[in-house]
Amino acid sequence: MRFDIDTYTEIADTLTRNKSRSILTGFGVFWGLFMLLFMLGGGKGFKQLMAKNFEGFASNMTAIYTERTTKPFKGFKENRRWDLNIQDLDRLRMMVPELDVITPTMSQWGETSTYGENKYDNSVIKGVNDDYAAIEAPSIKYGRFINRMDVIQERKVCCIGKNVYNALFPEGGDPCGKYLKAGSVYYQIVGVDTNGGNISINGRASECIYIPFPVAQKLFHRGSDIDLICVTGKPGIKMGSLDSKIRNVIAPVHYVDPEDKPALSMINAEELFNLVDTLFTGLNLLIWLVGLGTILAGAIGVSNIMLVTVKERTTEIGIRRAIGATPRDILSQIIMESVSLTTLAGTLSILFTVFLLNILEKAVATTTFQVSFWTAVAALAVVALLGVLAGLAPAYRAMAIKPVDAMRDE
């Protein structure tokens, strides 16, 4: 076979055509890695947003409250209203030693709070004891939370939530020592709680005006009745294991069937936290499966294009073999092309993903969407490894080409 300028021009055109085709195929790797990293970063940010809803809440907390009965019990008919009372706190302390904190709450909703000419119409006046801080930890910006002396001396003081503070004191500053009016009563402000949790336990923290529990009892004219009891377990105790014990202590003394679960309702925060953790564990697994599957599909595309490239470059490979190139040289060339293609696509994908996640972070303040440095490195290493595997089949096919057969190829 005679080689002239046309032959070499044909070889150059083939190289250019296959390079362009390989670059387009590398887009599959680019897109797969982008999907993986973007979903990982997005999942991380979404989990943080979900966690903010539980901000401050004890993970081993159970809230106990009452509803209408659904079963008759000891001569009492179903559909009967009933209430928890102060004596239930002592019963739980004596009969359920596995419990740590046992604290009551009561609330008055929809009160208007005012300071000067400013007002907030959706206030929740919430009576709590000092140990309520172990249930819903306050994030104090100014002053303090309700303390033990406030409760014992029945002081008319309050700690206000974030929304109440922003509405009554739009100019900012420390409001402690000043008096606000909530309903028809004046309270001295002793603290500002900026807890941003969106879970409502008898009122969202941001809308609450916390006052000492004994003060709320007298102002609300509730006697010994209470709205809700919050409890936490001692270290190592699973709150779910105490449900039946708590029911058997409280329900019978109020002539309620302990098996009447709707009548004595319980919200177990431990189960909610476990549910969220399980949800995001499954979500991360799905993200990895989808992302790696897409990357693998891209790598297979690279391998197929490299096979076509080897077929079209038979003459070139034959010339290289004829002038002394070893099979190892041909193997290295094909694998390096494959690895270079996948690594370049992976690097560009990481840069593009980081750029988009950075924009997302600016759009959603106080939330981190970026993937970690080592996650990106691990993903790029996986892409490079897939590049090696994608180049093996084309490389071995190129090694099998004999110089004489290549020279006869038209």
More confident residue, 32 or 245: 245
Round the average pLDDT of the chain to a whole number and report it.
81
Window from 6-15, 93-102, 222-231, 328-337 with minimum mean pLDDT: 6-15
Q: Region 57-75: what's the mean pLDDT?
A: 87
Report yes or no on whether pTM surpasses 0.75: no
Q: Are 168 and 113 in contact (CB under 8 A)?
A: yes
Nearest CA to 399 out of 323, 314, 342, 275 is that of: 314
Is the predicted pLDDT of residue 331 greater than 80, yes or no? no
Candidates 209, 197, 211, 194; CA nearest to 142 is 194
Name residue, tokens 């539980």: 54
Short-list 368, 356, 275, CA closest to 38: 356
What pLDDT score was predicted for residue 9? 47
Q: In this structure, what DSSP letter does residue 68 have? A: -
Count of CB atoms situated within 10 Å of the CB of 102: 19
Domain spans of the chain, in order of start: 5-54+274-408, 61-269
Residues 371 and 37 sit within 8 Å (Cβ to Cβ): yes
Q: Is the pLDDT of residue 238 over 80?
A: yes
List helix spans (H) across 313-326.
314-322
What pLDDT was estimated at residue 7? 43
Is the pLDDT score of 147 beyond 90? yes
pLDDT of residue 229: 93
pLDDT for 174: 93
For residue 353, the surrounding DSSP H or E stretch is: helix 327-363
pLDDT digits (tens, 9 = 90+) for 258-314: 999 999 998 888 777 777 778 878 888 887 787 777 777 777 777 777 766 666 666
> Between 54 and 359, whose confidence is greater?
359
Say whether pLDDT at 13 is over 60: no
Do residues 158 and 99 lie in contact, with contact meaning Cβ atoms separated by under 8 Å?
no
